[in-house]
C-alpha cells in the first residue's frame, strides 16, 4: 500500500526551523528584488517612483516600503507597453510559451519549469509516483493546467491532459485507464460523481480514485464531506493565482493551507498596504521568485488570515486560513464594513434557510439593509424566526437590518450575496 498521508516533497525545506526559514526567505527575497530591479523595466520604475532600492529591503517587514501591484496595474502597463508591460525579464523571442489570462493579462511561461510549489501541493494531497492522473483543468491559454502537468512530472506521475468537459468520456477514461488521481475544480468533480451515479456506477468501487486535488473555486466544507463520503478518499485543495503561482496548500490535517518556502505571502490592510498581525483578516499579497516574470507584492484581491501554530503534519510553515471572499465585495453600511463571509456566518446558524441575500438601499439619506430569506419549507413560527435572524444580524454585523421572507426561488441562483443598490448622486 502506498502511504499517501505522510512524507514531504522537499523534506529539508518543508520542516525548516523558524529561524532557518526566515533566513532562507530573506536571502531569496533580496535575490529576486535585485534581479527584478536590474532586468525588469517596470519593476525598476516602480521602485524608483517609491524612492526605494533593493538593498533597503532587509527584512520581510521592510516590504511595506514597496508599492502594491494590483491586477489593474498589470493590465494598464500591458496596454501601454505590450505585451508584458515591462515586467518580463526575457525577450519574447525564444520564450517557450505565452499565456493569456482574463484581464486580459499576458504572461510568459517559465521554461524549463523549475517552480516546485505546485508539486509540493500535489504531494501533500496524496499524489505519488506511479499514479495515473486525470488533469481536468483547462489547458487552453491559461497556465494552471500546464504548471500542474509539469509538477506531476516532477512527482513521477502519469498525466492524462484531458481538460474540462465531456463528462461521460472522462468517466470512461477513468475506468479504462484505472485513473488514481483527479485534478480539477471541486464542482467538476461533483458533476463527475453525479454522472457516474446516473450511469448506475458506484463511485467508491467503480472509479479507482485514491487522491483528489481541487482548486480554482471556493470549496465549502459541506461539499468536501459529501464528496469524500461518496469516493472514500481524501480531497485536498490548494490556493494560488495565475500571476503568482501556488500560495498555499492543504496537508492531510486540512487545517489551513501551508505556504511554500519559495514565495513570500503577506496579509495586508487593503487601504494602506501595511502588514497585519497573525490572525487578522486582510488581503493576500504575494511576491514570487520567478526569474521570467517576477511579481513583487502582487495583490490577489482575496481575503484570508495567517495561522502560526505548528501543524501536526510536521511542516513548519505558516498557513493561510480559509479564503473569506474578495476585497471588492466588501460593502459599507452605516459606515461599517460588511463582508459576504460574515453574512454566511450569520445564516449558518439557521439550518431551515435554503438561500439568502442582503440588499442595501438608501432612503432619505439613510442606509437600509434587508436580508431576504428563502426557507427550505414553510414553518409555523415565521415571526419568531424573523426576530432571531434580525438579532443575529445585529450581533454579527453590528448593523441593524430587517429580515424578509421570499418564495422559494425568489433569489436568483447566482445572485450576489450583498447586493448594493444604493445610488450616489
The footprint of Zn ion (CB under 5 A) covers 251, 253, 311, 313, 315
CB of 255 to Zn ion, least distance (A): 7
CB of 312 to Zn ion, least distance (A): 7
143 vs 256 by CB, closer to Zn ion: 256
CB of 234 to Zn ion, least distance (A): 13
Q: CA–CA separation, 43 vs 405, rounded Å?
A: 52
46 vs 117 by CB, closer to Zn ion: 117
Place of cell 464542482: 187
In angstroms, the Cα distances linking 177 to 156, 173, 252, 318 are: 17, 6, 26, 38
236 vs 297 by CB, closer to Zn ion: 236
Q: To the nearest 10°, the Cα dihedral for 75, 78, 83, 88?
A: -100
Task: Determine contact, residues 151/131, Cβ cutoff 8 Å.
Answer: no
State whether residue 235 is helix, strand or coil.
Answer: strand
Task: Determine contact, residues 238/249, Cβ cutoff 8 Å.
Answer: yes
Q: CA–CA separation, 291 vs 31, rounded Å?
A: 10
68 vs 121 by CB, closer to Zn ion: 121
297 vs 315 by CB, closer to Zn ion: 315
CB of 250 to Zn ion, least distance (A): 8
Place of cell 530591479: 37
Buried b (16+ CB within 10 A) or exposed e, 159-196: bbebbbeebeebbebbeeeebbbbbbbbebbeebbeeb
CB of 207 to Zn ion, least distance (A): 27
CB of 124 to Zn ion, least distance (A): 7
CB of 44 to Zn ion, least distance (A): 38
57 vs 251 by CB, closer to Zn ion: 251
124 vs 338 by CB, closer to Zn ion: 124
CB of 196 to Zn ion, least distance (A): 31
DSSP state for residue 200 in the 8-state scheme = T
251 vs 324 by CB, closer to Zn ion: 251
CB of 95 to Zn ion, least distance (A): 36
- Here the cell at position 100 is 493569456
CB of 245 to Zn ion, least distance (A): 20
74 vs 247 by CB, closer to Zn ion: 247
Task: Determine contact, residues 339/330, Cβ cutoff 8 Å.
Answer: yes
Q: To the nearest 10°, the Cα dihedral for 254, 259, 260, 265?
A: 160
Q: From 262, 241, 260, select the one nearest 249 (Cα to Cα).
A: 260
State whether residue 410 is helix, strand or coil.
Answer: coil
User: 78 CB contacts (<8 Å, ≥6 apart)?
Assistant: 84, 85, 103, 104, 105, 106
213 vs 372 by CB, closer to Zn ion: 213
User: 383 CB contacts (<8 Å, ≥6 apart)?
Assistant: none
CB of 267 to Zn ion, least distance (A): 19
Long-range contacts of 6-10 (CB under 8 A, 24+ apart): 6/252, 7/123, 8/120, 8/123, 8/124, 8/314, 8/315, 9/116, 9/119, 9/120, 9/122, 9/123, 9/124, 9/155, 10/116, 10/120, 10/261
75 vs 311 by CB, closer to Zn ion: 311
Amino acid at each position: 500500500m502506498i502511504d499517501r498521508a505522510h512524507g514531504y516533497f522537499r523534506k529539508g525545506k518543508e520542516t525548516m526551523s523558524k529561524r532557518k526559514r526566515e533566513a532562507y526567505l530573506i536571502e531569496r527575497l533580496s535575490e529576486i528584488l535585485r534581479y527584478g530591479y536590474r532586468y525588469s523595466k517596470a519593476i525598476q520604475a516602480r521602485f524608483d517612483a517609491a524612492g526605494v532600492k533593493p538593498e533597503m529591503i532587509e527584512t520581510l517587514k521592510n516590504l511595506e516600503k514597496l508599492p502594491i501591484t494590483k491586477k489593474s496595474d498589470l493590465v494598464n502597463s500591458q496596454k501601454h507597453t505590450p505585451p508584458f508591460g515591462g515586467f518580463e525579464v526575457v525577450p519574447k523571442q525564444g520564450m517557450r510559451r505565452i499565456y493569456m489570462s482574463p484581464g486580459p493579462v499576458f504572461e510568459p511561461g517559465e521554461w524549463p519549469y523549475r517552480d516546485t510549489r505546485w508539486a509540493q501541493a500535489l504531494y501533500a494531497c496524496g499524489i505519488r509516483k506511479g499514479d495515473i492522473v486525470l488533469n481536468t483543468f483547462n489547458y487552453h491559454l491559461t497556465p494552471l493546467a500546464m504548471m500542474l502537468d509539469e509538477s506531476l512530472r516532477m512527482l513521477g506521475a502519469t498525466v492524462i491532459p484531458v481538460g474540462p468537459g465531456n463528462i461521460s468520456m472522462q468517466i470512461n477514461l477513468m475506468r479504462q485507464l484505472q485513473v488514481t488521481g483527479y485534478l480539477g475544480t471541486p464542482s467538476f468533480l461533483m458533476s463527475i460523481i453525479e454522472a457516474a451515479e446516473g450511469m448506475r456506477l458506484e463511485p467508491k468501487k467503480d472509479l479507482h480514485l485514491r487522491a483528489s486535488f481541487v482548486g480554482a473555486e471556493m470549496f465549502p466544507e459541506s461539499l468536501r464531506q459529501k464528496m469524500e463520503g461518496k469516493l472514500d478518499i481524501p480531497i485536498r485543495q490548494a490556493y494560488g493565482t495565475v500571476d503568482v503561482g501556488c500560495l498555499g496548500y492543504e496537508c492531510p490535517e486540512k487545517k489551513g493551507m501551508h505556504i511554500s518556502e519559495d514565495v513570500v505571502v503577506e496579509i495586508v490592510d487593503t487601504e494602506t498596504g501595511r502588514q497585519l498581525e497573525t490572525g487578522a483578516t486582510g488581503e493576500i499579497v504575494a511576491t514570487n521568485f520567478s526569474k521570467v516574470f517576477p511579481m513583487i507584492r502582487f495583490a490577489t484581491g482575496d481575503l484570508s488570515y495567517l495561522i502560526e501554530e505548528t501543524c501536526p503534519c510536521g511542516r513548519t510553515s505558516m498557513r493561510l486560513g480559509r479564503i473569506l471572499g474578495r476585497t471588492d465585495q466588501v460593502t459599507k453600511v452605516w459606515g461599517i464594513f460588511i463582508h459576504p463571509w460574515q453574512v454566511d456566518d450569520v445564516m449558518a446558524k439557521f439550518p431551515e434557510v435554503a438561500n439568502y441575500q442582503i440588499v442595501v438601499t438608501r432612503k432619505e439619506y439613510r442606509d437600509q439593509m434587508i436580508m431576504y430569506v428563502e426557507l427550505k419549507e414553510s414553518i409555523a413560527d415565521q415571526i419568531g424566526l424573523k426576530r432571531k435572524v434580525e438579532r443575529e444580524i445585529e450581533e454579527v454585523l453590528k448593523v441593524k437590518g430587517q429580515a424578509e421572507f421570499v418564495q422559494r426561488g425568489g433569489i436568483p441562483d447566482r445572485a450576489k450575496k450583498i447586493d448594493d443598490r444604493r445610488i450616489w448622486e
